[in-house]
Amino acid sequence: MAASLDGPRLAPKGRAKQLVVFLHGYGADGNDLLAIGQQWQDFLPDTAFAAPHAPEPCAQAPIGRQWFPLSLRDETELWPGVVRAQPVLDQFLDAELARYDLGDDRLALVGFSQGTMLALHAGLRRKRAPAAILGYSGLLAGPEYLASAQAKDGKGRPPPILLAHGDQDEVIPVDAMFIAAEQLAEAGIPVQWHLALGIGHGIDGGGLLHGALFLAKSLGLPAPAPRGLR
């Protein structure tokens, strides 16, 4: 995969002290998630947000993009897909971190659906662990290969992970979250989870709030006064 990534960004008014990168779902593009950054600015001050477009046009949604071909009917397609997509994402992450003169300890990955698959795969295999991985409505690709998920921070710890999922998800059943959490825990990678009641394949206000608070804590930022999300 030789293509380089680009997409919309939100820059803070002053110097960026952390970077949040959104990885969109199958058939969408970077614009689909960037608005979340606007809602999180009170929780994550001095944060740069980036939402790259996936490198491939989506076969089933011609105006959208895909990180890799996906049918969700064949589990064997997931592992080759994330492996193929990781190098181009790593290249983008390295360039964005260099843009703001930041290290991986100031990086958070936020994925939705197919983007969650890639966030988990790539984030757990960076040379140094990101500050956090937040995955909405996704699943863990290739759990049998978790031995290669060796990313650690400066204290030798894996990155903190929060998985969020709607209990009415009609695309990726909610069981995928619990299975992923169990598989990661068995590999020595602790996971938090948030169950969104009555929510399908999407993100509700509660999920956004939990995600914002999780990222703020993981990045060492003080929690703002509880004013909710706009």
Residues marked as catalytic: 113, 169, 201
Residue in this structure with the two tokens 């290969």, named with its chain if needed: 145
Cβ atoms of 13 and 42 within 8 Å: the answer is: no
Q: Beta 132-136 vs 107-112: how paired, if at all?
A: parallel
Cβ atoms of 203 and 173 within 8 Å: the answer is: no
HEC assignment per residue over 121-178? HHHCCCCCCCCEEEEECCCCCCHHHHHHCCCCCCCCCCCCEEEEEECCCCCCCCHHHH
Q: In 3D, which of 190, 186, 173, 183 has the Cα closest to residue 132?
A: 190
Burial class (CB in 10 A: 0-12, 13-18, 19+), 229: middle
How far, in Å, CA of 123 to CA of 158, rounded?
Answer: 10
